[in-house]
Amino acid sequence: MRMRLTTISFLVCLILGLLAYGGNFRLVDDAENRLLDLQFRLRGVAEADSRIVIAGIDQETLAWGGRPMFAWGPVYAELAEAVRQASASALLLDLVFSPGSEAVIRDHVRQTADRLGLAVPPKLLREIGFDKPFRAALLELVSSGVALIAGFAWERNQPVFSDPALLHIARRDNTGYFNLATSQDGVIRHVELFAASPDGQVNAVAMVAAMRSGLGPNSLPPNPFQQINYRGPRGTIKSIPVHKIVEASRSGKPLTDELRGKIVLLGFTDITDFKATPYGYMPGVEIHANILDNILNQRFLQQIPRATEIPVVLALLAVLLLLAYFYRLAAILAGSIIIVAGLIASVVWFDPLVVPVVRPLVILAAFVAVERFLAYRAIYLDRRRVREVFSRYVSDSLVKEILASNDRDFLQGKRRRLCILIADIRGFTTFSERHEAHEIVEFLNAYFAELTAIIMKNRGVVDKFLGDGLLAFFNAPVEHDDYANDAIKAAQQIVAYAASPQFKEICFCEELKVGVALHAGNVVFGNIGSERKAEFTVIGDTVNACSRMESLNKEYHTSLLVSGEVVKSAGPGYDWKFLAKTSLRGKANEVELYTINNLEG
C-alpha cells in the first residue's frame, strides 16, 4: 500500500514536470515574468554606474526652448558643444533626426516670395536650416575625440538604414539599432546585443556606446540575448535636464565634474517614448542607460541553465519521495521547507543570479499537495477504522477522545493497568428452562442494552457477552486517572438496576440476581482476531481472576465483590466492608475481597 501511494506522487510529479519543462505554456512563462518583476521591486534600488549620465529633454526644457521640435537644431548644437567642452567620452543620440521639416520651410519661403513677386537669392535658401549648426557641432565633437553614437530603427533581415541628414557624421561602426525586445506581455526584460543583417552584423546602440567610449569591453559577449538587470525604477540613472547643461555652457562654466569622461545619452525623459519595464513605465533612453550599465559592469542577470535546474529538481524530488515512503508527514514538512527556502533564495540571491522558481515550485507544490491528500486520506481511513472498531464498545464521547488522540498503538496491542468488570445472572439456567426462546432473547437484549448504556456512560468498554454474562473493562483505550471510580460507579448502577422494578418487568417477575466483580491489574489489550473477524478485547490473568471472584458472590451472599487492588486505586467516599482474604481457584496468590455496605438498600 505504501509503495502504491508513493508511486502516485511520483507519477503526478513526473507528468507535471514533463508538461512544465517539455511544453510551451504561456501561463508558466507569464508567471516567471511576474515573479521576476516582483523580485526587482523587492530588491529596490541598486547602485548604478556613475559613468553614465542622461541629458534629458523634459517638460521644463521644452518650455525653456520656446520653439517647436523641428527647430531644435541650434539647441542640440549647444548641447554637443557643452559635452565637448566638458570632455565627455561619448555622446549617444537616442533621437531620430529627419531633414524633411527644413525642405518644407524652404518650399514655403520660395512659394511666398513667388506670390509676392520677390526674388530670393539661392544662397539665402541654402542657409535656411536648423540642422546645419547641429551638424557643424557634431563634426567638431567628433574631431575632438568624443565618440558620437547614433541610432537607427531596424527591421530584422532588412538592410541597415542610416539617415543621411545626420547619421553619416558618425562612422558606420559608431551606429547601432534602437530596437528593444519585448516579452509576450509587452514588458522589456531582455535585450539583443547584436544580430545579423544582409549588410553584415549590426549591434545594439548601447553595445556600440560601450565599445566606442573606451569604457567597456572590446569584444562582444558570446550570447547576444541578455536579461536586463535594471538598477531601479525610473530616475535611478543620473539625469541632467538639457537646459541646465546648455545654460552652464553659456555662462562659461560647463558641467565638467558631472560630464568629464562619461557617456552622455540624449533623449526624452518625461514627454514621450515610454516603455513598460518591471518597475513600470520608463523612458527609452533610461532603458538604454540600464543596458549600458550592465555591459560596462558585466552584470546582466544570469539565469540558472536548464541543464543544471532539471537535475537539481529531480534530485530533490527523489529525496522527498524516498522520505515519503517511510515518513509521509516529514516529507510534507521537508517539501514545504524547500519551497519556502527556494522563494527566499530567489529574493536573496537575485542580482545577478535568477533562481528558477515557478517550474520547480509547481512540481514541489504538487508533491506536497498529493502527499497532504494521501496523509489526510490515511487519517480519514484511520479514523473510520477506529470508529468502526469502537462504536460498538464505547460511548460516542469516548470515541471522540480516541479520535482526538494520536495514539494508535493499542490497535496492535498494549499492556496497561485496567479494571475488569464481570457481571453474571444467577438463576438464569432455571429461567431459561421456564420461558420460550423468544422471551429469553427479548430479556437478554433488554438487559444487555441497559448494562451497555451504564458501562459506556462511565467511560467503560463492553468487551463481550458470555451467554448471560458480560465482560467490560475501564482505562482503555483512552487512559484516565480515575478509572477505578468509573468502574465502581458502573458496578453500583448495575446492582441498583438489578434490584429495580424495570429489571423485574423484563425478567417476567422471576427471582433473578445479578452478581458483579471488579478486579484491577496489568492486562494486554488490542484488536485481536483475523481479517474477517476481529474484536477489541483484553487477555491476561486479571481477567481470569475476576471471573473466579464473581462466582464467589453466591458464597458470600453479595451482589458486588471488589478486590483490594481496586479499593487501593479508588478514591475516598466508599463504605467498604472487608469480607475475607482468600485464594481463588487455580491461583496461588490470595486476594482481598470487599463489598459496599448496604449496597442493595
- Give the model confidence (pLDDT) of 543-569 as tens digits: 999 999 999 999 999 999 999 999 999
Among 51-65, 227-241, 281-295, 411-425, the range scoring the smallest mean pLDDT is 411-425
Question: Residue 348: pLDDT above 80?
Answer: yes
- Give the model confidence (pLDDT) of 360-374 as tens digits: 888 888 888 887 777
Q: Across residues 317-327, what is the average pLDDT?
A: 83
- Give the model confidence (pLDDT) of 13-35 as tens digits: 777 777 776 766 677 788 888 88
Banded model confidence at residue 180, pLDDT cuts 50, 70, 90? confident
Q: What is the pLDDT of residue 150?
A: 87
Banded model confidence at residue 67, pLDDT cuts 50, 70, 90? confident
Q: What is the pLDDT of residue 159?
A: 57
Question: Residue 346: pLDDT above 60?
Answer: yes
Q: How far is the C-alpha of 357 from the C-alpha of 309, rounded, in Å?
A: 10
More confident residue, 49 or 219: 49
For a pLDDT cut of 90, what percent of the chain falls above it?
A: 39
For a pLDDT cut of 70, what percent of the chain falls above it?
A: 85
Q: What is the pLDDT of residue 473?
A: 93
Q: Across residues 114-120, what is the average pLDDT?
A: 81
Banded model confidence at residue 533, pLDDT cuts 50, 70, 90? low
Q: What is the pLDDT of residue 595?
A: 94
pTM of the model as a whole: 0.63
* Residue 483 burial by Cβ neighbours in a 10 Å radius (0-12, 13-18, 19+): buried
Q: Across residues 466-492, what is the average pLDDT?
A: 91
Question: Residue 401: pLDDT above 70?
Answer: no
Which residue pairs from 353-356 have beta carbons closer than 8 angstroms and sit at least 24 positions apart in sequence? 353/301, 353/302, 353/304, 354/36, 354/39, 354/227, 354/301, 354/302, 354/303, 354/304, 355/304, 356/32, 356/303, 356/304, 356/309
More confident residue, 170 or 302: 302
Q: What is the pLDDT of residue 120?
A: 76
Q: How far is the C-alpha of 419 from the C-alpha of 396, rounded, in Å?
A: 21
Which helix (H) or strand (E) segment is 489 a member of? Answer: helix 483-498
Would you list the DSSP string of 161-179? ---TTTTTTS-GGGEEE--
Question: Residue 112: pLDDT above 60?
Answer: yes
Question: Where does 394-506 have alpha helices with state H?
Answer: 396-404, 409-412, 428-434, 437-457, 483-498, 501-506
Task: State the distance between the two ends of the chain, measured CA to CA, in whole angstroms.
Answer: 59
Q: What is the pLDDT of residue 381?
A: 66
Q: What is the pLDDT of residue 157?
A: 64
Q: Across residues 509-531, what is the average pLDDT?
A: 87
Q: What is the DSSP letter of 204?
A: B
Q: How far is the C-alpha of 207 from the C-alpha of 209, rounded, in Å?
A: 5
Domains parsed from the chain with CATH numbers: 2-42+304-381 (no CATH), 48-300 (no CATH), 407-596 (3.30.70.1230)
Q: How far is the C-alpha of 187 from the C-alpha of 276, rounded, in Å?
A: 5
Q: What is the pLDDT of residue 412?
A: 65
Cα 139 vs. chain centroid, distance in angstroms? 59
Pairing of strands 90-93, 590-596: unpaired
Residue in the structure block whose three cell numbers are 518625461: 270
By C-alpha distance, which of 538, 594, 535, 600 is closest to 569? 594
Banded model confidence at residue 449, pLDDT cuts 50, 70, 90? very high
Q: How far is the C-alpha of 47 from the C-alpha of 52, rounded, in Å?
A: 12
Q: What is the pLDDT of residue 202?
A: 85
Banded model confidence at residue 531, pLDDT cuts 50, 70, 90? low
Q: How far is the C-alpha of 230 from the C-alpha of 36, rounded, in Å?
A: 11
Question: Residue 411: pLDDT above 70?
Answer: no
Q: What is the pLDDT of residue 258?
A: 92
Strand-pairing partners, residue 93, are 150, 266
Question: Residue 156: pLDDT above 80?
Answer: no
Question: Residue 397: pLDDT above 90?
Answer: no
Q: Answer yes or no: are the C-beta atoms of 177 and 154 closer than 8 Å.
A: yes
From start to end of 128-246, where are the E strands?
147-152, 175-177, 190-192, 194-197, 200-203, 225-227, 239-241
